[in-house]
Amino acid sequence: MPRSSAEAFMIEPDPVALHDPDLVSILVPVYNEAESILACYEELTTALRQWDRPYEVVFVNDGSTDGTGKSLDDLARKDARVRVVHFRTNYGQTAAVTAAIDYSRGSILVPMDADLQNDPADIPALVGKLENGFDVVSGWRKNRQDPLSRVVTSRCANWLISLVSGVPLHDYGCSLKAYRRDVIADVRLYGEMHRFIPIYARMSGGTVTEMVVGHRPRKKGRSKYGFERVFKVVLDLLVVKFFLSFAAKPIYVFGGFGILCLLASLLPAGLAVFYKLSSGDLHKDFVETPLPIVAATLALVGSLATLQGIIAEVLMRTYFESQGRRPYRVKALVELDSKRE
C-alpha cells in the first residue's frame, strides 16, 4: 500500500552525537501559511545561497488545514536541505518550536516565522554576532510594522518580562533569534514559553544580547495571535519567575507565604480577645465579630501552604535524584594534570 506524503517524510529525532558543529538549522513553525510558504522558502534560499556556511531548514507543520502540508512536502522532495515535520493536529507555536529543535541537526539554531515579516537576510548577521562569544542573540524589531495596538501591548509586555526576569530585552516576541544548542539543550517548553528561551539560557549561565533586525508588514494570510495571548504570557511569566528563582527551593515560596499567613492570623485573633475582654462581659460570644473566622482562615491557609511547600520540596528532590540531575551546570573544569612528569 503506498504511503501518504506525510508518512513518506516521517523522521525520528537525531541523537545528540550526530549534531553537526558547523551546521546552522533554520527552524520554521508553520500553521496555515499556504499563501506565503513558497515565498518564505525562496527568500531563505536567496539570502543564504551566498553564505559560506552549511545550513538546513526544518519546517514544522503545526496541523495546518489548508495546502501548507503539500507545499512543504514538495519542497522536501526537491531540496535535500529541507526537513518537514508534520503534526497530527494543532499544538501551538511552542510545541512546534520544540519539535523543530528536536528534529534539527545543527549546533546553531535560528527560529523564524513563515509569514514573511522576518527578513532572512538578517540570519548571517545574527549567527555572526553569536560567534563573537554570545550564547543567545535575540532579534529586536525596532521599526515594527504592525498595528499600533499590538506594538503598544508588546512594549508593555516586554517591559514587564524584563522587570520580572532581570534579562533586559526590547523584543521578547520577535521569533528571529539565534541560539547555541548546548545552552538550551535541557530546556523543556510548555504553554506559550518559546518567547522565554533567552531567560532559560540566562538561567543556565548563558550570555544574552540582542540585535536590531528588519521587520515588514504582513501581506499574506492573517495573524494567529489575539488579545488573549496577553493573559497567557502573564501566567507563563509567573511560572518562569518561579523556576528562575525558586525551582530548587520551593519551600521558600510556599513556606514563606504560609508563615506570613500564620503570623497575620495572630492579629485578628488578638483583636477578638481584646474586644471580648474590653467589653467587660466574659460570657460574650467570640463569633459576634468576623475576627475569629478571619484568624482561623488565615491559620488554615498558612498551614496548608507550608505543607504544600514540603510536598514541593519532596517532588523537587525526587525529580533531581531520580534522573541523576544536578542543581547546577559546569562550564569547565581546570586542574593540574598530576600524571605528567
The helix/strand/coil state of 26 is strand
Q: Could you give phi then psi for residue 136, rounded to 5 degrees?
A: -140, 130
Backbone angles phi, psi at 230, to 5 degrees: -60, -45
- In angstroms, the CA 153 to CA 110 distance is 25
pLDDT at residue number 16: 44
Model pLDDT, residue 327: 62
pTM of the model: 0.73
Q: Find the helix or strand (DSSP H, E) in which 233 lies.
A: helix 229-246
Q: Domain ranges in the chain? A: 5-245, 251-322
CA 35 to chain CA centroid, Å, is 28
Q: Which three cell numbers stand for residue 51?
A: 553564505
Pairing of strands 55-61, 20-30: parallel
| Residue 309 cell numbers, joined | 511547600
Question: Looking at the DSSP assignment, which residues form a beta bridge with residue 28?
Answer: 59
Q: Which residues contact 199 (CB under 8 A, 6 or more apart)?
A: 161, 165, 167, 240, 244
Q: Select from 135, 233, 122 the least CA-distant residue to 187.
A: 135
pLDDT at residue number 323 = 67
Determine contact, residues 105/79, Cβ cutoff 8 Å: no
Q: What is the pLDDT of residue 67?
A: 86
Rounded Cα gap, residues 312 and 332, in angstroms: 31
Q: What are the cell numbers at 210?
A: 540582542
The radius of gyration of the chain from alpha carbons, rounded to an integer in Å, stands at: 26
d(CA 175, CA 304): 41
Q: pLDDT tens for the chain, 341 residues: list them.
A: 333 444 444 445 444 445 778 899 999 999 988 888 999 999 999 988 888 889 999 999 998 888 898 999 999 999 999 999 999 898 888 889 989 998 999 999 999 998 888 899 999 999 999 988 899 999 999 888 878 878 888 888 889 888 888 889 999 888 899 999 988 877 777 777 788 888 888 877 889 999 999 888 877 656 655 556 667 777 878 887 787 777 778 888 889 999 999 999 999 888 888 887 776 665 666 667 788 889 999 999 999 999 998 998 888 788 767 766 666 666 667 776 655 54
Provide the pairing of β-strand 177-180 with 136-140: antiparallel
pLDDT of residue 1: 34
Residue 305 CA to residue 311 CA, distance in Å, equals 10
Q: Helix %, strand %, coil % for the chain, to 5?
A: 50, 15, 40
pLDDT value, residue 284: 61
- Let me know if 291 is exposed, middle or buried by CB neighbors in 10 A (0-12, 13-18, 19+): buried
pLDDT at site 282: 59
Measured in residues, the chain has a length of: 341
**Are 266 and 189 within 8 A, CB to CB?**
no
How far CA 116 is from CA of 112, 113, 145, in Å, comes to 9, 7, 12
- The CATH code of domain 5-245 reads 3.90.550.10
**How far is CA 100 from each of CA 12, 25, 59, rounded to the nearest angstrom?**
11, 9, 7
Cα within 13 Å of Cα(218), Cβ side: 14
